[in-house]
Amino acid sequence: MKTKLIALLFITVSTLVTSCYKDESVDAPLKTHEPSDDELDEYIQANFTDKYGVAVRYTYVDRYVDPDKRVTPPKRELVEPMLDFLTEYWIEPFKQVENGEVFFTKHVPAEVIFIGSTIYNSDGTVTLGTADAGARITLTEVNDIDIDNINWVFRQLGTIYHEFAHIVHQRYNLPPNFKEISPQGYTSAGSWYNLTDEEALQRGFVSPYATSSFNEDFAETVAHLLYYPEFYERYYNYETNCTTSDCLARNAGRALIRRKYNAIIAHYEQYTGVNLLSVRDIIQAKF
């Protein structure tokens, strides 16, 4: 996909959505996929199960969604295009960097679940994805697939990179001293969505949802670094000739994000051998 980015509307989107790291237990589902002579199942078997040990679940099963949630299953004809999208933007960028194929194969979850719709929550937010025990990632909005819609693309990439990052801290913990970088900025349970993007930035976070916990802060920062083209302009570079209180507060927030950024880059290098900036370069070239 080649898209000219004239104006990015993501910032307002981030206050409306959430992704969740539901379970940090180490019990993982088996990497199984029942043999089938169905053409779509054969495609999944050859390109995901045999290659990476990933079972892709696209038919609705109620155990994948909380019983109080209403969802729509994905349309069958959209499953393969969604898989192609994930291959291009998730699998291949990691495989193309040094140590990336080993890292991806070792850490890819056992199951990827497709939901056709969003998952609406009682607090007014929507869940775009979940990760369970480093073994399952659930993606929503499959029925809205549109690779020419940059907002849909960013929501999907933000979700998959966020959830994949959870697997890293679940395996290797958070970077040293990560919790001490902005300890006063985290929100009380269930109140992150009351913050604006500007307030989150001034606290030293890339999104309001990042303020909800240390783990979500880590995953959100990784995701934004990878998929958001204006990451450096928005979150990293200091504003010059800064005199207003808001400008000074944004620069103070950026100083905290810089510390998280450096800690995350070093953490990935040390424990996975993957240079996230190289992965970012491949992803950004697609825009």
pLDDT at residue 62 in the model: 65
Structural domain boundaries in the chain: 10-284
Q: What is the DSSP letter of 119?
A: E
- Across the range 128-136, mean pLDDT stands at 74
| Statement: residue 100 has pLDDT above 80 | yes
> How does the average pLDDT of the chain come out, rounded?
87
| Statement: residue 63 has pLDDT above 90 | no
Other beta carbons within 10 angstroms of residue 269's beta carbon come to: 14
Is 10-284 assigned to CATH 3.40.390.70?
yes
| Statement: residue 7 has pLDDT above 50 | no
**Model pTM above 0.85:** yes
Which of 128, 151, 148 has its CA nearest to residue 8? 151
pLDDT tens digit string along 179-212?
Answer: 999 999 999 867 898 999 999 999 999 999 999 9
| Statement: residue 25 has pLDDT above 70 | no
Q: How confident is the model at residue 157 (pLDDT cuts 50, 70, 90)?
A: very high
Which of 106, 85, 83, 104 has its CA nearest to residue 95? 104
- Across the range 37-46, mean pLDDT stands at 93
